Chains A and B, each alone.
Chain A
Amino acid sequence: MKVIYTDVLIIGGGLAGLRVATGVKERGHDAVVLTLVPPKRSHSAAAQGGMQASLANSKMGEGDNEDVHFSDTIKGSDWGADQVVARMFTHCAPKAIRELAHWGVPWTRVKRGDREAVINAKKVTITEKDEAHGLITARDFGGTKKWRTCYTSDGTGHSMLYAMDNKAHEDKVEIHERLEALSLIHEDGRCYGAIARNLMSGELVAYVSKATTVATGGYGRIYSVSTNAIICQGMGQALALESGVATLGNMEAIQFHPTAIVPVGILTTEGCRGDGGLLLDKDGYRFMPDYEPDKKELASRDVVSRRMTEHIRKGKGVKSRYGDHLWLDITILGREHIEKNLREVKEICENFLGIDPAVDWIPVRPTQHYSMGGIRTKYTGESQTLKGLYSCGEAACWDLHGFNRLGGNSVSETVVSGMLVAEYISDFLESSDSDMSIHSKKVEFFLNKEQKKLDNLLNKENGEDAYVLRRRMEEIMMEKVGIFRNGKDLKEAVDELEELLKRSANIEVFRSKSRAANPALVNAYRTQKMLKIALTCALGAYLREESRGAHSREDFPSRDDENWLKRTITSWPDENQTLPHVSYEAVDISSMEMPPGFRGYGKDLTRHHPITKVMQDKVDKIRQTMEAEGKNRFEIQDALMPYKDKLPKKYQGTNARFGENV
């Protein structure tokens, strides 16, 4: 048995995983990163439009600060988010972006003087201040009060990931590439690393560690059309789920991005609309103002995706052999702007559609994009139920996004959660809590178990074809667990997925019997795991009889705070069961800085909790009194919901901000 020991095992080499690695390294701990692909090829690279951080450098960001970012994030989440986590996040985002600037990200900068921009289909002139010249600029994104999304052209994730990976090189982080974690090693509620398979040689390796971090991104590929990279298959969530001990949170919370190209589902950034692009129907008519007169194309993502679907259902979609779509028109922005600030979009249009977006409209439709759900953790990133297991970034649900994530908050979350979790892990490692006592026999038990599973798949005869099961799962998720959901479809989805899961026990790897690099074997075991993830999502959605954020039930159109202001928690305690175990965790209104309100889209159908009114009055009163006493925004915030003591000391400082305290 090959065993590798390390302080921190990090599964996933994207932005979140690498940031954890460099963080624990700087605190003097060893780290090994396991990654399916070279870190620079991770899905983080695909984030185009930007990273939210309330720097307030540009004219249209004036007056922005942590409070506004916090409020946008909570509203965006439809009050599902953990408000303490959202506070920690908005406080640290400016620090994270400045750190990345220091490490080499060439953020697009403010340029003094006049510049032309397109706002609400009109050309306007924006005048940037002299003193802000050369600071990091920002663009507009959906669901935000201020222009807060900082960017590097439309290759933001790419430039962040490259800077981060280069920093990891500098810090001599050990990267084990093309290694796939298959299961967690754990005993008595304590995680001790993972069994991993070398995807080139097929060798199984036991990685034994004091702390284990899952930063593997989302699970978008359980859907047939997704903007996600093909490696975003939920294998990190499956690791946690199959431990039987760790839990997942809000797996039904799935975001659909309004503008992926048809048919292949490749993303065109929200920056297209942020910079002034419009959505048009088959008649070339701009329909969003009819539905959302206030925010129009820049309503929150879940809202725009629903409105587009509604409009298509009214027969206003453009017919194509791949189904109906709508148009994204960025011609109005002009060639110069597109070639400078939207060049990836331009390349994608040229290469995959054969069109020039400076002249032609782009065929788009809402497509699976982001997983708000994930491994349920405390604010420290540690699993609530499996000690020593941590998770961050899209893989986790610590719960920053609730039921809908704001554009620009995901790459921001990767680095912020990474830098925080690195500190909490380091604290853990420096305490006696992290002492280990696991017998090598137990490690061997986990390794042998995985070996046996692989043997079974390779030796099975007359079994099921993994591709058939997987394609059916993808279709079910797409058709029945999509943008609009209803009880009947969801029930059918759960039943059929359960049936597929049962059949998946019988998967046979046809023809391709190699124990080394073998894509058929990989597809076989991943399909089994993906089916479990799909079930957590479908069952959570079926049981949640309300509409909140991206979870939209046609049979329960109201947000129901009285009964459903709670997180769905799923687990899989017995490996023989064919449905996940479901429980709920209350989201406590009485500890909220911002009690539930109306998001401001469409009609207010919310069924409020009786305590909301009481809490809102209390919050208003504290605010009024303190404002009258001349207290500043930090003092008021601290009185409403203290959170700073939860942050690592080094990140507690006040952010310098142009126009506020500088």
Chain B
Amino acid sequence: MNDKKPRILKISILRFDPHDPDDFPHMETFEIEESDGMTLFIALNEIREHHDNSLKFDFVCRAGICGSCSMLVNGKPTLACRTLTAKLGENISLAPLPLFELIGDLSIYTGKWMRYLNEHLETWIHDKEEELKFDNLEEKMEPELADEIYELDRCVECGCCVAGCGTIQMKPSFVGAVGLNKIARYHLDPRDKRTDEEYYELIGNEDGVFGCMTLLGCEDVCPKDLPLQSKIAYLRRMMIKASMN
């Protein structure tokens, strides 16, 4: 390994405790020594353990899988746990994702937002058929189609696309790329028996696919590299078609 002296990172964090009436949003800078392979997960835990144990942030899997730790790193929404400090300069700024309810410091209430979205868009398989017969063989599905559905199913609801979305800044009721991608996913799935007209009811409006201004910040920041641009375009065509019927 290299014998170079480790860097001293200056990590500036936007801090605010909404439960403390005397507190106000302010930046606080912590200096820590960089270690080999250090991620922001490691760095933030070091700050909490050795500098300020009241620092609030959200990590769960710390492996880039669960989507908990999205935040603004140098102004850009991303997953903190898999961000190596080596890829950043010595001065790092961290702030909570905008638009979501703030719990404190870098901790945000994405769960509430996403739950509302899922309930609103009814992101589950709609099948009015009789009860499932689980003793029988499963229904067949074309292997390529299963792969395609999984591709869209890989969304981790981290909220980066929401934070990167220009439309939501002006129109908070917009469902965002996360919502539209979910609809694209169910639309693709033959197990979901909803018709195009039913989908139109859900997203054929300004809060849905016609609200998107096509700035596509969502696609730039998606940590799972989901094909958001092409799916939004596809849905828009489908919904225009549905509206003409």
Contact = CB atoms under 8 A, between A and B. Distances in A.
Contacts of B138: 55, 97-98, 101-102, 107, 135-136
Nearest to B69: A41
Given A104-B191, A111-B143, A510-B53, A43 B60 contact: yes
Contact of B153 (A162, A266, A512, A517): A162
B54 A514 contact: yes
Contacts of B64: 347-348, 351-352
Given A98-B134, A102-B125, A158 B65 contact: yes
Contacts of A169: 115, 118-119, 122-124
Interface string A25-66: 000000000000110111101100000000100000000000
Contacts of B191: 102, 104
B68 A37 contact: yes
A263 interface: yes
Contacts of A103: 124-125
Interface in B102-119: 103-104, 107, 109-112, 114-115, 118-119
A264 B37 contact: yes
A136 B146 CA distance: 10
B63 to A, nearest CB: 4
B30 to A, nearest CB: 14
A657 B137 CA distance: 7
Contacts of A101: 138-139
B220 interface: no
Interface stretch (A184-192, A499-507, A648-656): A648-656
Contacts of B1: 321
Interface string A128-159: 00000111110000000000000011010011
A98 B107 CA distance: 37
Interface stretch (A245-253, A476-484, A518-526): A518-526
A512 B53 CA distance: 6
Contacts of A558: none
Interface in B140-189: 140-143, 146-147, 149-150, 153-154, 156-157, 189
B48 interface: yes
Nearest to B127: A102
A170 interface: yes
A72 interface: no
Contact of A517 (B19, B61, B66, B132): B19
Nearest to A652: B135
A40 B157 contact: yes
A657 B36 CA distance: 51
B125 A104 contact: yes
A134 B191 CA distance: 14
Contacts of B111: 37-38, 41, 177-178
A351 to B, nearest CB: 4
Contact of A170 (B42, B124, B150): B124
Contacts of B123: 166, 169
A158 B139 CA distance: 21
A263 to B, nearest CB: 7
B59 interface: yes
B77 interface: no
A126 interface: no
Sorted from nearest, which 5 A-B pairs have the closest CB atoms?
Answer: A134-B140, A38-B111, A512-B54, A516-B19, A520-B53
18 contacts: A95-B134, A96-B134, A102-B134, A108-B143, A108-B150, A110-B143, A134-B143, A152-B146, A153-B150, A155-B150, A175-B115, A178-B111, A264-B42, A340-B147, A352-B82, A354-B84, A467-B49, A467-B53
Given A267-B63, A655-B135, 8 more contacts: A38-B110, A38-B114, A40-B156, A133-B143, A135-B140, A152-B146, A163-B125, A347-B82
Interface of B: 1, 17, 19-20, 36-37, 39, 42, 48-49, 52-56, 58-68, 82, 84, 103-104, 107, 109-112, 114-115, 118-119, 122-125, 127, 132, 134-143, 146-147, 149-150, 153-154, 156-157, 189, 191-192
Interface of A: 37-38, 40-43, 45-46, 55, 94-99, 101-104, 106-111, 133-137, 152-153, 155, 158-159, 162-163, 165-167, 169-170, 175, 177-178, 200-202, 229-231, 263-264, 266-267, 321, 340, 344, 347-348, 351-354, 467, 509-512, 514, 516-520, 523, 653-658, 662
